[in-house]
């Protein structure tokens, strides 16, 4: 009986040891599996937005990074969703942060220490209502904003309409607020990409039809489609926050968007923590106005696809790229 008890306890003890080893082995394998799963993707994730220069420049910089040995993946994403993705590290950097349309979200996340301000490009920017120069033949009082109502018949889709049409993009510039605050008798035709805007513009130019649409600079139009921005009341910060400012005492945004705005780069914190050399490189990247005009023109005017445009842009800007790289460990 005593032997039986001891023997059973010994068997139980050995069984427990075997069981423990099995459990520990399973945990190790499981842990290794999840470790591999979590860290298998060492790629840099770069966002692709809906305007040409951003897409070409992102592809070009991505190719420089991948040629240096780090795999790159591109993420189709809109401007609104990119901020959460940057904060989570789902995308690693954004090369074109435009002040007129992105300042509020960018400044908030930088102030909260959720993303990193990686510096300002040489190029300055404007984003606002724009028209091709030939429209002044039909509406000589342009570019003053009051001309939009004075010449409204030029901008109607059909004569029976009671509103003119402003062709906008998918981005938030407060266009509806400008229309309301300045009592402009226009409606918005909201288009989904920059290329859709340029299709509308090309059709109008072909027929020499008056058109007013969203545009920005630097852009291909600086070189290939002469035009002017509407002269709204000059921008001041109070215009966006204080209804008492300006012509309309009830509503904000009775002014233009900011002229000569900054163009910045944003990075996720994970880029700095996990890709130090690439973080250094993106910090050095510095676009001029001419570089951005070239990037958009390669797609819109030269009709190259993104990969072809990126390759050509790299070739014509190789000295600048080498200078950016020389100041880093990449």
- Tokens coding 55: 């897409």
Q: Classify residue 157 by burial, with Cβ atoms within 10 Å: 0-12, 13-18, 19+.
A: exposed
Contacts of 286 (CB under 8 A, 6+ apart): 119, 121, 122, 320, 324
- Tokens coding 91: 């995308």
Regarding pTM above 0.75, the answer is yes
The mean per-residue pLDDT over the stretch 293-298 comes to 98
Task: Choose between 303 and 42: higher pLDDT.
Answer: 303
Residue 304 has pLDDT above 60, yes or no: yes
Amino acid 330: pLDDT: 83
What distance in Å separates the CA atoms of residue 33 and residue 318, rounded to the nearest whole number?
Answer: 42
Residue 13 has pLDDT above 50, yes or no: no
Buried b (16+ CB within 10 A) or exposed e, 278-305: bbbbbbbbbbebebbbbbbbbbbbeebe
Question: What distances in angstroms separate CA 268 from CA 47, 75, 76, 263, 274, one per listed residue?
Answer: 12, 15, 17, 17, 10
Task: Choose between 185 and 23: higher pLDDT.
Answer: 185
What distance in Å separates the CA atoms of residue 213 and residue 322, rounded to the nearest whole number?
Answer: 38
Whether a cis peptide bond, with omega within 30° of 0, leads into 272 is no
* Angle separating helix axes 318-326 and 276-284, nearest 10 degrees: 130
Amino acid 41: pLDDT: 61
As a residue count, the chain comes to: 330
Residue 14 banded pLDDT, cuts 50, 70, 90 = very low
Amino acid 147: pLDDT: 98
pLDDT by residue (tens digit) across 119-169? 999 999 999 999 999 999 999 999 999 999 999 999 999 999 999 999 999
pLDDT by residue (tens digit) across 168-221? 998 878 899 999 999 999 999 999 999 999 999 999 999 999 999 999 999 999
**246 in Cβ contact with 255 (< 8 Å):** yes
What distance in Å separates the CA atoms of residue 149 and residue 164, rounded to the nearest whole number?
Answer: 8
- Tokens coding 207: 């027929």
**292 in Cβ contact with 220 (< 8 Å):** no
Residue 31 has pLDDT above 70, yes or no: no
Residue 33 banded pLDDT, cuts 50, 70, 90 = very low
Give 273-329 as a 3 state SS string.
HHCHHHHHHHHHCCCCHHHHHHHHHHHHCCCCCHHHHHHHHHHHCHHHHHHHHHCCC
The mean per-residue pLDDT over the stretch 293-297 comes to 98
């Amino acid at each position: 009986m005593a032997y039986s008890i001891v023997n059973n306890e010994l068997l139980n003890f050995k069984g427990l040891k075997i069981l423990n080893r099995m459990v520990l082995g399973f945990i190790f394998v499981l842990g290794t599996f999840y470790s591999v799963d979590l860290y298998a993707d060492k790629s840099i994730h770069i966002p692709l937005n809906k305007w040409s220069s951003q897409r070409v420049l992102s592809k070009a910089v991505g190719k420089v990074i991948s040629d240096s040995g780090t795999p790159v993946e591109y993420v189709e994403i809109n401007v609104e969703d990119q901020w959460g993705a940057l904060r989570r590290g789902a995308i690693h950097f954004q090369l074109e942060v435009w002040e007129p349309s992105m300042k509020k979200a960018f400044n908030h996340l930088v102030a909260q220490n959720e993303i990193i301000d990686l510096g300002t490009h040489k190029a300055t920017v404007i984003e606002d209502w724009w028209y091709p120069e030939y429209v002044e033949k039909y509406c000589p009082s342009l570019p003053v904003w009051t001309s939009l109502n004075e010449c409204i018949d030029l901008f109607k889709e059909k004569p029976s309409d009671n509103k003119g049409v402003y062709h906008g993009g998918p981005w938030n510039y407060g266009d509806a607020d400008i229309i309301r605050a300045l009592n402009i008798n226009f409606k918005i035709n909201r288009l989904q990409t920059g290329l859709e805007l340029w299709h509308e513009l090309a059709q109008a130019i072909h027929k020499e039809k008056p058109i007013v649409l969203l545009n920005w600079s630097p852009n291909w139009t600086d070189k290939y489609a002469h035009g002017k921005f509407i002269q709204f009341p000059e921008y001041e910060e109070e215009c966006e926050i204080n209804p008492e400012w300006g012509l309309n005492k009830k509503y904000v945004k009775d002014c233009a968007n900011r002229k000569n705005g900054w163009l910045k780069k944003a990075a996720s914190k994970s880029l700095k923590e996990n890709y130090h050399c690439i973080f250094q490189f993106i910090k050095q990247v510095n676009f001029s106005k001419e570089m951005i005009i070239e990037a958009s023109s390669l797609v819109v005017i030269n009709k190259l696809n993104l990969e072809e445009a990126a390759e050509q842009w790299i070739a014509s800007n190789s000295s600048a790229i080498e200078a950016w790289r020389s100041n880093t460990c990449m």
